Amino acid sequence: MDLVFHAARAVTPDGERSCSVGVSDGRIAAVDDYGALSGDRVVELREDEVLLPGLVDTHVHVNDPGRSDWEGFDTATRAAAAGGVTTIVDMPLNCLPPTVDVASLDVKRRAAEGRIAVDVGFWGGAVPGNRGELRPLHDAGVFGFKCFLLHSGVDEFAPLDETGLEEAMRELAEFDGLLIVHAEDADTIEGAPAAHGRAYTDFLGSRPSAAENTAIARVLDLARRTGARVHILHLAAGDAVPLVAQARADGVRVTAETCPHYLSFVAEEIRDGATEFKCCPPIREAGNREELWRALGDGVIDCVVTDHSPCTPELKRFDTGDFGDAWGGIAGLQVGLPAVWTGARSRGFTLDDVVRWMAQRPAEQVGLASKGRIAVGCDADFAVFAPDEAFVVDRTRLRHRNPVSAYHERALAGVVRASWLRGREINLEHGAEPFGEFLSREESAVPVRSGQH
């Protein structure tokens, strides 16, 4: 073995166990009893550390090229590694050009080349007029296609109307492509009070849960009729959970995700003018948060990913605190694991559950069979995690490009002490050469679950 980990605690597909993990040529070659393996290098985990598979975050806005002052591949991937995330899949919007054809995908790959500290894959976009680009993008290796059903926040990534949504689904069904949907209904939001001013309650009223429910119902109905695979992004409305559960029971191929901020924060505690908490869909009330936790426990919501959507401090409009004018997005890539673990353990969940939500299921959802598990044949991606070590988030010490964080001054449990990518420890020091690789969709993709929850 090139490398061996001895871990009194490790989270494997069979549950938490004491074991040794052997690595050869960047892949896991053996998982055996504790102390049973030897190698050229041996890493002994401390008593308070747990060996986790590297997390897989399939919802990251890197914003590069074009808006790299918001984030960028260098800062985003180092923040990911600092948070135990060893694989990200980058969203197709907020970069310029958006990833809506093969030429723009090539531009993005060139921008990222030599600058990524973790492995990176890419989503394509489904926008009006690019139906003919979907198959070429699929063949070029994107993991699926994101669409909006209302204004995306940037003019260059337009939403699909109902006809365009159905056309995209029918096209993707031809080659079993995956459609991932920002599911909020434009008409419902148009009929709600406009977002303005410093009061968070006013902003929340401008994005009612009915907008999610209506949009999700439409997506599921079209998925039934077209046979397309669909994934509901950043599910925030607990009362939409039964829609997903029923569709899956009916055989619709649908998965759903939620995000650490929906599991951590509640509307009742957000101060007026605290625009660092603005995101779309919005953070809802405490009772809604508990519905999301129950849906995770029941398996209706499949995974937890960050929807890391950063911006410059100026775009958050801290000068006025106006929720109507501020950019909507939460930067959480580095703190997603401790945020989820803090909430999970207080509700009786285990690290097995967290690994399933944040590593195994996201990898399965995009078909990365070699990621998200400590199992023979998988990439040797690991996070060394101290689950009982507490810390207080300091936005100025995060590796995100801009010091904006809804988690600032929040006490969390769990510290990532090291991350390993394909058997090499990731060096986060300034000037260290990154060695992340580009990932493409695998032909042996794991099918989206249906008929169970």
pLDDT for res 453: 30
pLDDT for res 448: 38
**SS3 (DSSP) at 271:** coil
pLDDT for res 214: 98
pLDDT for res 449: 40
Instruction: Say how far apart CA 208 and CA 313 lie, in whole Å.
Output: 26
DSSP state at residue 337? H
Where does 177-321 show beta strands of DSSP type E?
178-182, 229-232, 254-258, 303-304
Nearest 5°: phi and psi at 427? -90, 115
| Contact in structure between 238 and 288 (CB atoms under 8 Å) | yes
Token readout for 230 is: 């669909």
Nearest to 369 by CA among 26, 56, 140: 56
Tokens 């991350």 belong to 419
Instruction: Say how far apart CA 20 and CA 6 lie, in whole Å.
Output: 4
Residues of the chain with CATH 3.20.20.140: 54-380+389-411
**SS3 (DSSP) at 172:** helix
Prior bond to 159 cis, omega within 30? no
Tell me the per-residue pLDDT of 20-73, one tens digit each, with 9 for 90 and over.
999 999 999 999 999 999 999 999 999 999 999 999 999 999 999 999 999 999
Distances (CA, A) of 4 to 11, 32, 37: 16, 11, 7
Q: Is 205 exposed, middle or buried (0-12, 13-18, 19+ CB in 10 A)?
A: middle
C-alpha angle 149-359-125 in degrees, rounded to nearest 5: 25
pLDDT for res 452: 36
Distances (CA, A) of 226 to 130, 171, 252, 255: 19, 9, 10, 16
Q: Which stretches of the chain drop beneath a pLDDT of 70?
A: 442-453
> What is the third-level CATH fold of 54-380+389-411?
TIM Barrel (3.20.20)
Residue 320: count other Cβ atoms within 10 Å of its Cβ.
Answer: 13
Distances (CA, A) of 303 to 232, 257, 340: 11, 5, 11
Dihedral of CA atoms 372, 173, 167, 129 in degrees, nearest 10, equals: 60
Q: Is the pTM of this model over 0.85?
A: yes
Instruction: Say how far apart CA 442 and CA 363 lie, in whole Å.
Output: 11
Residue 350 has, within 13 A of its CA and on its CB side, a CA count of 9
Instruction: Say how far apart CA 202 and CA 323 lie, in whole Å.
Output: 9
Token readout for 414 is: 């769990």
Residue-wise DSSP of 380-441: --EEEEEEEEEEE--GGGSSSSS---TTTT-EEEEEEEEEEETTEE---STTPPP---B---
Instruction: Say how far apart CA 267 and CA 277 lie, in whole Å.
Output: 9
Dihedral sign for Cα 192, 260, 306, 317, please.
positive
Tell me the per-residue pLDDT of 320-356, one tens digit each, with 9 for 90 and over.
999 999 999 999 999 999 999 999 999 999 999 999 9
Token readout for 46 is: 């401390």
**SS3 (DSSP) at 379:** strand
β partners of residue 424? 421
